[in-house]
A and B are shown apart, each in its own frame.
Chain A
Amino acid sequence: MDPEARFSYYQRVKEAADEEQRKVLRKDFTRTDREEILSLRVWWLNRMRYTSDPLREKTTLFWHGHFATSNQKVKDAFAMWQQNETLRHHALGRFPAMLKEMSRDPAMIKWLDLNQSRRDHPNENFAREVMELFSLGEGHYSESDVMEAAKAFTGYRIDPKACSFRMDKKAFDPGPKTVFGKMGNFSGDEIIDMITAMPQCARFIGRKLWTFFVAENPDEETVSGVAGLLLGNGYDIGATLGVIFRSEGFYSPKVVHHQIKSPVEWMIQTTKMLEIPLPDTLVLDNALSILGQILFAPPNVKGWDGGRSWISASSLLYRYNLAAYLLSGKARILGGGKGVTARVPLDQIISPGERGSRMLLLNHLVFRVFNAPATEKESAAYLDFLTNHPTPFSDQTILDFMQTMMSSPSYQLN
């Protein structure tokens, strides 16, 4: 629903003859929003699947988890799409500019109640989260910093006709605020400048970048290193990632193939690797929800915990079965339904030579599936499997082989 449609909906609710009519309108509205957020999800997943700039999409996903705005509260798919575009636009740019933009983002304004924050009654929700979750982390600001900073973020409003930011000067508190021991008639942007000037902010963002792109629990030296880069280059995220991706730490055997794929990563990588499109909307949406990653609906303001929290007995088995479904196309595996999945184009993927040679097929598929060498135990088991099947390998043999590879701990790792 674009802002105009939404605006006219509000008008119709206002003008409705009775409560019965309003109820019908509301129901209709809720259904429309639900359909729209679903199509937005599928749109983004397809964008991730087919983009020529995967780093930008992956970084956008990182920021979505960072700013963790959920349509469960915002209830405005258009605003969520706008935020997504804002995140994409700034994804590899400079963090302070992005943070300022996010304070003006309509979905964020609804998400953290900024639209209810006024001079005589500042709402602390945004001011708190901007420090706790977006920039500094708990313990690096005081309660009074939150209360005082909240004054600087008063008057931030949404123009409903355009779904855009507007400043309500009457609701803004232009008076003095004392934040981080400094006093002044600060604006919201100035508070953000003060925050991002703090080395702790660079450490916080640096740690999160490393955790998302490289590995959990980076050591102090690593965090300081990334923080130094960020402070030195004015929080240029693209440049910083460039250094990280060329660093020795990024290729350390301690981190390569040790990070658990998020459900979205699993889905995108798997369909790319199998050279098939994403599954049907309902299968796709249901799968990601069972696996615990619903785009535009992170579980809470902290976003997805990531790492081991992705994996439970149930979700791991589901990942294995989802792989079997994508390979075989048998809907029964996921509990029936009418989902249709594309056939894996084996003739395109596997050359005649590979069909006739165990070693060639093994080498190709190990790199295709895992993007890393197999362990000795895995290699032995794989060779054993292939030895038990006649050459040239049939489609079924190759699919079974891939199912075995994907139903393993190794396949869950980046």
Chain B
Amino acid sequence: MKSPKEQPLHTRRQFLRTSVLGGALAHTVPLFLEKTFLTLDAMAASTSGQYATGKDSTILVVLQLAGGNDGINTFVPYGDDAYYKARPTIHLPNKEILRISDYAGLHPELTGLRDLYGAGHLGIVQGVGYPNPNRSHFRSTEIWQTASDSNRNESRGWLGRYFDSCCSGADPATVGVAISGQTPQAFASPSPKGVAFANPEQFRYMSESAGNPKEAERLMREMNAPESDSPSMSGPNDGGSIGMISGKVDKEGSTVDFLQRTALGAEMSSDQILKITRKTKSSVNYPTTQLGNSLNLVARLIAGGLPTRVYYVSQGGFDTHANQLPSHSGLMKDLNAGIASFVADLKAQGNFDRVLMVSFSEFGRRVSENASGGTDHGAAAPMFVLGGGVKPGLYGAYPSLTDLYQGDLKFNTDFRSVYATALEKWLGAPSEMVLGKKFPILPYI
């Protein structure tokens, strides 16, 4: 689809210039705003021909499969007798497997992924995990979200650290959007950036509850506007009335200053996002699943020119302890349908080459099935990397089904190598700075 050539945020920009900062803009605009204005100017300028700022910049979509996806029945080692032996009742029928190699193939529902592989847009990283795997959903998810060693506790998320080190000063929706009610831990940071919402209509100030909504909206904006001589610009001030003074003045300014900046960022993000989602429609039909709705929203935000470089979506329900054949097939079907629509949409927009999608789950599942026709929590599993810029192929090695660690596949590729590659080769960020360590770069880009 083609997005209308609109002028994103034109009124917002006028509003900022005229009513908040006025003439003082040139001298005292805080760094944060200055950058925002650069973005806005770029957006305004882009209306002459193109609709997307950062139209040349790459986008990362992180897809979480929550609950511990059964990697073995996702990328199936159909050529290995040990597979049928370990899973007498829940192995997938050999002839239905979508062949990728002589050894392994995709779950029969993953036809869209098979086609992507055929077209050269899908990479499968095999045997991904980390040393001393943890089998708790809670803890292992935390390890994946924070990219920490399993014996260390890290509260900042890996994307939060990326935002901190690479995107300071940008407004929040520019750095990252999570389609979720709660901000994912991957975005966590001492001063969180990025925005999270399940429904864009909820990500705005609900002034209509007031008797006079227009007045409420105006006042909210006024009360949240950064001071033109904000404390961070004018330096410490220990006297005066409370609220006028800054607290400890550090490089990020006082707490009030921080809140004002966040509020302004929220307003701008909200305006931007609503404007886009209300106007932009997809030309492609999406499945009406959680993942389908989320990816539809992401595609519209990309089409509408939101200059965001990191999106986060998730699909739940992968904790398949019992009778998993039908339930896992359903999950694979939803996953496939969601991704296929998203890819078709991005291609129609002409944005497919800009997007890299990386899927992950907190762990794979035990090689052997359990007594309930399901699988218990395991360790290593494959990850999908897909997009116009991906070098297709298999990365890492399929772990042995018989040489196991406590009944689980041994990992051979650290998940942080997958992250490091996305950071370094796709987002152009220094991965060592973000991840705290150097991890080998994989050739999937």
Contacts and interface: CB of A to CB of B under 8 A. Distances in A.
Interface of A: 19-20, 23, 70, 72-73, 215, 217, 253-260, 286, 289-290, 292, 299-302, 305, 307-309, 311-317, 320-321, 324-325, 327-328, 330, 332-335, 372-378, 381, 385, 388, 394, 396-397, 399-400, 403-404, 407-410, 412-413
Given A253-B238, A309-B192, A314-B196, A407 B220 contact: yes
Contacts of A311: 191-192, 258-259, 262
Interface string B234-246: 0000111111110
B259 A404 contact: no
Which interface residue of B212, B227, B270, B370 has the most chain A CB atoms within 10 A? B212
B209 interface: yes
B205 A321 contact: yes
A258 B153 contact: no
Contacts of B270: 313, 317
B243 A410 contact: yes
A300 B139 CA distance: 8
B182 A313 contact: no
A266 to B, nearest CB: 13
8 contacts: A308-B192, A315-B192, A320-B220, A325-B206, A396-B211, A400-B211, A408-B224, A413-B259
A413 B185 contact: no
Interface stretch (B60-68, B248-256, B328-336, B412-420): B248-256
B228 to A, nearest CB: 11
Interface string B127-139: 0000000001011
A375 B192 contact: no
A316 B262 contact: yes
Interface string B196-224: 11110011111101111001100110111
Contacts of B241: 373, 375-376
A289 B198 CA distance: 14
Contact of B192 (A312, A394, A400): A312
B206 A309 contact: no
Given A253-B242, A302-B153, A312-B262, A330 B209 contact: yes
Given A254-B247, A314-B203, A373-B241, A410 B256 contact: yes
Contacts of A72: 138
Interface string B252-272: 001110111011011001100
A377 B203 contact: no
B243 A290 contact: no
Question: How would you classify the secondary structure of chain A's contact residues: helix, strand, loop or mixed?
Answer: helix
Contacts of A312: 172, 183, 187, 192-196, 262
Size class of the B contact interface (CB-based, 8 Å): 35 or more
Contacts, number: 193
B155 interface: yes
Contacts of B371: 19
Interface string B116-157: 000000000000000000001011001000000000010100
Given A309-B190, A376-B244, A404 B266 contact: no
Contact of A316 (B216, B239, B240, B259): B259
Contacts of A333: 206, 209
Contact of A325 (B187, B192, B209, B223): B209
Contact of B172 (A313, A399, A408): A313
Contact of B243 (A257, A302, A407): A257
Which interface residue of B155, B199, B216, B243 has the most chain A CB atoms within 10 A? B243
A258 B155 contact: no
Given A19-B371, A381-B223, A404-B216, A316 B211 contact: no
B322 interface: yes
B189 interface: yes
B372 interface: yes
A253 B248 contact: no
A218 to B, nearest CB: 10
Contact of A313 (B242, B244, B262): B262
B310 interface: no
B209 A328 contact: yes
Contacts of A20: 372
A400 B183 contact: no
A324 B269 contact: no
Contacts of B183: 292, 312, 314-315
B238 A308 contact: no
B173 interface: yes
Nearest to B373: A19
Contacts of A19: 322, 370-372
B181 interface: yes
Given A253-B239, A305-B188, A325-B209, 4 more contacts: A302-B153, A308-B192, A314-B197, A410-B243
